[in-house]
Homo-oligomer: A and B are copies of this chain.
Amino acid sequence: MKVVKAEIIAIGDELLYGQIVDTNSHWISQELDLLGVRVVRKTTVGDNREDILTSFAEAEKRADLILITGGLGPTQDDLTKPLLAEFFNCPIIEVSEAVEAVSSFFRRRGREMTPLNILQGHLPACCTYIPNEVGTAPGMWFERNGTYWMSMPGVPHEMKKLMKDFVLPKVPQIFDLPVIVHQVIKTVGIGESWLADLIKDWENALPSHIKLAYLPSLGHVKLRLTGFGDSKETVEAEIQAQIQSVLPTIEKYVYGYNEDTLETAIAKLLKKADKTIALAESCSGGYVSHLITTVPGSSTYFQGGIIPYQNQLKSELLGVKAETLGSVGAVSEETVLQMANGVRDRFHSDFGLASSGIAGPDGGTDEKPVGTIWIACVGDGFAKAKKLQLTQDRMLNIQLTAVAVLNLLRICILGKEE
């Protein structure tokens, strides 16, 4: 089976000057991916004749399906329609059905049409008119030499409506599509290259129709398995078998799959175990609590937190001993354990978590340089503390500490050793 290749062309100066984030291309990619269409390129060009025509000509050489967004407004700087007419070598003519749709759009809203608006019902003679029920710029569908084209407005909800109503149902009718299945394994606590090293034998033994990608982000690595084939059930089963095969090697780092985040994975674990947590955050400054409370329903397991940014408050509010602070300091195993125990007591939670460290850029010493951070997790009959040696960057240190605290909590709930 031939792979169906798609390209997305986004048109508009505002996309190139960084004034608007192009969310359309990302959404279209996701939808086509689910259908088994391979997006091979996305191109963004400005409102410029030559650049637009070149992008059309280049895309036609490569793609079976070309989706164009933007440049369909009624003003002079919008060039997509005349250039499509030029590219497909046909005149722009009045399409009475399209003119009527634009008129009706304005009538329904009780607004006057300008002469410019009426021109939105004039279309290249060689396109199929695709009605836009939520806006004034119609969709235009072209076919030439086995390549299919759709031009849509750049306004996201108009583009999405045309995609859902017309393009997404049409694509499986005109192409013989392969089956593509993705599964993402989410890991934490191990770097990309260590992970690659750990699973290299498994990776090298993957069949050619199953591909692996490493997708690293702050403190996490996602492993994406993509399988191709004729039957969805077969490919899904093959990918599941591959996951089961690699899992024993990496199980301790795996917190979830696909849409799971570390926060939602922890939510599931805590709800299942019927346990509650509380946090004492010094260097992470509330960021872990924030991540936890982004999850709907987190109030069922999150008792609350405290951010004792001054040493005096660590003593007054969490019972950290003044002699501990005086001897080994706030950034120490002893302090962070006392903080975790203190917050567990005060907030009546099953687990108590704490962070204390030097986020930077100032406050470092030779003994405790910027990036020195202690984290702890305590519970019924156990206490774990861990020292992190992170970066020079304050924001990065806060984010990496949060990932480490959440991962330590995950390990504590599971009752495993690191």
A residues adjacent to B (C-beta < 8 A): 13-23, 25-33, 38-48, 51, 55, 58, 73-75, 77, 108-111, 114, 116-117, 134, 155, 157, 182, 184, 191-194, 196-197, 211-217, 224, 226, 279, 281, 285-290, 292-294, 296-299, 302-310, 312-313, 316-317, 346-348, 359-362, 389, 391, 393-396, 398
Contacts and interface: CB of A to CB of B under 8 A. Distances in A.
B214 A398 contact: no
Most buried by B among A16, A38, A111, A316: A16
Contacts of A75: 192-193, 196, 214
Copies of the protein in its oligomer: 2
A214 B73 contact: yes
Question: Most chain-B CB neighbours within 10 Å: which of A155, A184, A293?
Answer: A293
A16 B45 contact: no
A389 B107 CA distance: 11
Chain A interface main SS type: mixed
Nearest to A305: B307
A50 to B, nearest CB: 9
25 contacts: A16-B38, A17-B30, A18-B32, A20-B215, A40-B46, A47-B213, A58-B58, A73-B192, A77-B213, A108-B389, A111-B191, A116-B197, A117-B193, A134-B393, A155-B217, A157-B393, A157-B396, A286-B307, A294-B394, A296-B360, A297-B362, A298-B309, A305-B309, A307-B307, A313-B347
Of A29, A77, A109, A317, chain B has the most CB atoms within 10 Å of the CB of A29
